[in-house]
A and B are shown apart, each in its own frame.
Chain A
Amino acid sequence: MNNADTRLPAGTVLAIVSAGILSFEICLTRIFSIQHWHHLSAGIIALVLLGFGSSASIMAVFAPFFSRYYRLAGWLFIFLFLISIPLSMQVANSIPFNMLALPWQLEQLGYLAAIVLCFLTPFFFGGAYIALIFMQMSHVFGRLYAVDLLGAATGICLVLLLLESGSLENAILLSMTLAGLGLCMQSNHWPQRLLSGVVALCLIYCSWQFKLINVYANDFKELPVQLAQQKARLEWQRDSSNARLSLVSSPAQHSAPGLSINSVANLPDQWHLFADGDSRQALLANVTNFNALRESLLFAPYLIASRRPNVVVLPSNQHWNAWTAIAAGAERVDLISDNRDYLKLFTTPNAIFDQFRLPELVEGRVSNPRAFFERGHEKYDLIVQHISNYQYGGASQQINYGVTREALRQMWRKLTPSGVIGIFVRQSEQPREQLKIISTLAAALGSELGQLSHHLIVLRDWNTSAILVTKSPLQDTHISHIKAWSKRWAFDIDALPGLSAADTNKFHVKPDNLAFHAIQALLEDGAGYQSNYLYQIQPATDDQPFFHHFFRWQSLPQILEQTGERWPLFVGWGYLLSLACLAVMLVLAWLLILLPLCRQPLRQAVSGNTLACIRYFACLGLGFMLVEMQFIFLFRRILDTATLAFAAVILGMLIGTGTGSFLVHRFKIRSDYLKWFYLCLALMVLLISHGIELFIDLTNEWSISMRFGLVAIVTLTPAILMGLFLPIGIRLVRTAGPGVTAWAWGINGFASVAGVMLTPLLAIHFGFTTIMLVALCSYLLAVLSLPKSLGVNT
């Protein structure tokens, strides 16, 4: 190996390319959210790691060849990474993949695989470059790995800043620019650097000029459908790290959630706001007539709330809800959203659109609901929230922390003595969402309320259920008021003290009146009914939050018998898809891990230690990813948005791991210390996961930047320890042959993919505590594997 290869520039190029790769990873989560569904974007981490793992396997197979042409290969990999960004986006655009049609059309599985392959390409080439550098300079692996991770952390920070400035396309250009910079610096001499620079600039310019990197919502999403209508116009659009918001004006916009079939009210003028090309909600202009608002199911909570209530509206359809509160004479309305841009559209003092500006009694608060309630001291007469029920994609894995047992207790404490919680949920074919919410309400408030049935009202139209819980027992006046109002506006009652079956299912007739009977049974025998019901309706907790997942394996025979070929639609096929993807991934990972062993030099190099090698690096990958995912989910409660939690945790983990890796390189840390490091790590991880409530209490009054800093520092500390394991392992095996470093890194990558896919499934079935235990067991197994096997080869 050439001594010059170890100079700083190699590390610098590595850092720049890593920054480019990670920034494109973040962009890709947004691209998937806009073009397809945000549920798919969770799989991007898996996609990236799959790209890394597969490239590492290939590099391990052809290690001698790439070592010989190291400089050229490096340049080529960076160039291919750069060019594959616009190309993969163009090819993916031409694939007619429609997630919604997946259960109907088998070819959609093929399209999904094609999309995955398409976007795997940039990460394959990016990963190949990293593997090449690791392989070529494995004697300084610790330092290079640190540089790689710090570069990645920088890339994330840069791309988040650019995304917040308002354009996803600019963020993609940043990824390409970083790759272009890497391309220049990879060249040896100035003429080559100049030529590389010209090539990179041309590529970047063409991508921008010919709109090769522009991102549009696919045809089957709501935004393009609406824009195809008569006289529809895109009025405003803005990207952020959270969502792409698009505001459309059209004369054919008539949203009126929960409007009574007896209403003849004229609807207010409205424009429609789309998040990531979907999730339509109305912004009402110049509302002067409140009839449509008062004749909607969404008005129901105000019938039993105080006369001039203080209201808090949690995310979803907030503009309509704010006007409903105003129509009910609210004294103050707080709108809680983690999307600053969304609130800026219509809240004072600087609303972007004057016609949508809400009166001053409405205040927008940028926060997630849990953090808002944890920090606030105000009491409310009414807390309103809407639960979406997704029926597509990996939606079953979407988490809602707003309707867990702990969240409902927290809301309860924020209610005035006459306060009400109103939860709206769209009905499925069979009652399940509302039953899960009622189960959770019973678990959360049962001990305080005595009998939930004396505090519970459930109303519905044909589409939506309104679940209302009052802090004080319902009075006869409340009951008669609700009955009269429901009759006047043709809403059915599914739960009310003293209600009989004859009083139900009158206006919106449902087969067998299932909701009424199920709620009655649930209130009478909660645990027994939950354990035997067709769907999973156990109470949600912070450890096992509200997933949009209701499938139970024991119900499968009944579903199969009754639905025939349509069965995937009834079980939440996103869950099945996740299982199938995990199975495919495990098979693929094994094949790609074993592939390099086909070559004799590598097989001989690890002879006798093959399984130990696989076990050690796989356990590290799995454990690392489980801890990381667990932290991301946990710290969503401290930080205001999911994106901030993601950014803070990834930043802390990357810097921490990088530091740990550098420490291994700098101080030549011995492998027999690993068991002590493991003990420290286990202690820290347990402390953090069990001390989350303490962190929340501690940071209640802190600013968002201080909380972000705290999360980054808290995750950084265990990450330093986690960063020790991989370089120590690599140091032990690298002398066995040139391809072993790449192979080991690849194993680590594949196991991380499995970790990403496994986390939501484990959380659905067993809860987050189990994830933490599995992660610690993984690390323990790795520690136990190390001295017996890998050391032999060194």
Chain B
Amino acid sequence: MSGRTLSDISFLVFSSLPLEFAKWSQCQRLLTAQKIVLLALFVFGIPTVVNSEENYPANDERLGERQEMVSHLRKYGYGMIKVVDPRVIQAMLAVPRHRFVPAKSQRLAYADTPLPIGHGQTISQPYIVALMSQLADIEPGMRVLEIGTGSGYQGAILFELTDEVYTMEIVTPLAKRTSALFKTLELDGIQMIEGDGYFGWPGDLEFDRILVTAAAAHIPPPLLKQLKPDGIMVIPVGPRWGNQQLMIVRKDQEGKKSTQSLLPVRFVPLTGGKQ
């Protein structure tokens, strides 16, 4: 089975989750089958990502921690949206998160927690990074824009999924630091500029996917304009240190827009309300 086919299956399974949580138990059966396939995929090492072999060594001293982190993400408990896309999982395994984490937080580089990277910004929790990448449903060749480069980790994950990654950072010192890091890691394919992401990428480019990694107070109209028809935008909602939700903004073929909020955790009122 190729990675692409598997990705299709996982997306089919996954895309039903946010709206149809009640079908969770049915999904579980599918997921169990999928776990077996994924396990086989790891064992036989079938490549499913775009750039990892070129940019990162196949093995490094913290690979074990990374595997543990990914294993932890996949074990999230009842009600949590699972990270099941094999390409995303492979990307999370391939990208050495510790290279994007400041020296003083190295110990926690693979903990499932946001970490400070200076200037009040954070490198997002791995679960949120994986989930955003999965929700964006990125196929190779898609043009992806990331608003808020930050540490560069999310950008590097996206670069594992497609060759066309554009990223913008407004905080000058962060932009300089991450640009240098991209050079060091030879991630030259990532197009990075320092600038105000509110207005999107300068020029007339349109994007298949847009990931806004900084929580937004409203959805910027100029960004929506740069989203192609049938495009998807993923935005975290809520405090960056707190309980972040994710939101998907869709633009259909006719240009109609809608949002869909996803809860990492599902609650049901004890009485009343629809169960």
Query: B-contacting residues of A (Cβ < 8 Å)?
Result: 96, 98, 100-101, 103-105, 219-222, 224-225, 228-230, 251-252, 254-259, 261-265, 391-392, 429-430, 461-463, 490, 506-514, 517-518, 521-522, 525, 528-529, 532-534, 555, 558-559, 561-564, 566, 569-570
Contacts and interface: CB of A to CB of B under 8 A. Distances in A.
B272 A517 contact: yes
Contacts, number: 181
Interface residues of B, number: 61
B77 interface: yes
B21 interface: yes
Given A261-B249, A529-B271, A564-B77, A391 B242 contact: yes
A255 B198 CA distance: 11
B110 to A, nearest CB: 14
A528 B271 contact: yes
Interface of B: 18-19, 21-22, 76-80, 108, 113-114, 116, 118-121, 170-174, 194-196, 198, 217-221, 224-225, 237-243, 245, 247, 249, 257-274
A225 B194 contact: no
B170 A513 contact: no
A508 B21 contact: no
11 contacts: A228-B120, A264-B225, A391-B242, A490-B257, A506-B258, A509-B258, A514-B274, A518-B269, A521-B269, A521-B272, A566-B243
A103 B242 CA distance: 8
Among A101, A254, A511, find the residue whose CB has the most chain B CB atoms closer than 10 A.
A511
A460 to B, nearest CB: 11
Nearest to A533: B269
A508 B18 CA distance: 13
A570 B243 contact: yes
A592 B220 CA distance: 57
A533 B267 CA distance: 11
Given A219-B116, A220-B116, A509-B261, 14 more contacts: A220-B120, A224-B120, A228-B171, A258-B218, A261-B249, A391-B243, A429-B238, A507-B258, A510-B261, A512-B22, A517-B272, A528-B271, A532-B272, A563-B79
Given A258-B218, A534-B267, A508 B272 contact: no
Nearest to B241: A100
Contact of B257 (A222, A258, A262, A555): A262
Contacts of A461: 259
A98 B240 CA distance: 12
A257 B217 CA distance: 7
Contacts of B79: 562-563
B265 A507 contact: no
Contacts of B263: 429, 511
Contacts of A463: 217-218, 237
B114 A104 contact: yes
A6 B67 CA distance: 74
A263 B221 contact: yes
A265 B264 CA distance: 33
A532 B118 contact: no
A392 B194 contact: no
A350 to B, nearest CB: 31
B73 to A, nearest CB: 13
Q: Which of A512, A533, A564 has the most CB of B within 10 A?
A: A512
Contacts of A98: 116, 241
A533 B273 CA distance: 10
A8 to B, nearest CB: 52
A529 B272 contact: yes
Contacts of B259: 261, 461-462, 507-509
B221 A264 contact: yes
Contacts of B266: 511, 562
